[in-house]
Structure 1
Amino acid sequence: MLRLRCPWCGERDETEFRYGGQPVTYPADPAALTDAEWAEVLFVRDNPCGWWRERWVHAAGCRRWFELWRNTETDEVA
């Protein structure tokens, strides 16, 4: 089990959190994108091996969103 550190509540078990995925940067002019480009923005994510930036929400605690770095090979959290 992962132990995650909420910036507001401190370290807790992974079961208190929900994974929010990769941070997404939305386009400045969304009307200019084609359907295929929108599909890329909304559904395609990286799948790295190694250190990775993720979003999490402390669902069973303060309910705030935060970002952390996690190694996808070892589950080490920084």
Structure 2
Amino acid sequence: MMLGVHRPGVTVALQILESRHLIKSQRGEIFVKNRDGLVTLTKGTYGPAEEEYERLTGIPLGKPVPDDDAPLSRPA
């Protein structure tokens, strides 16, 4: 609802990004694995929105990503 798109479209997009090893997703959570890859894929439109989110909320988004084999935990 927050994105204004149908859920199946979000699922497909997440699967594409995961197959390219750019993110890792789990129900309700998305971890960025390759920020530079996301910026390249989106032709530079990924970074500015992220910076604005950090500026508005004060929540830093540049947290390390867990290994693929490690269980995912909720970010602090």
TM-score class normalised by the smaller sequence:
under 0.3
Higher normalized helix content (fraction of residues): 2
Q: Which has the larger radius of gyration?
A: 1
TM-score, normalising length from structure 1?
0.22
| Higher percent of residues as strand | 1
| Structure ranking higher on relative contact order (CA contacts 8 Å, 6+ apart) | 1
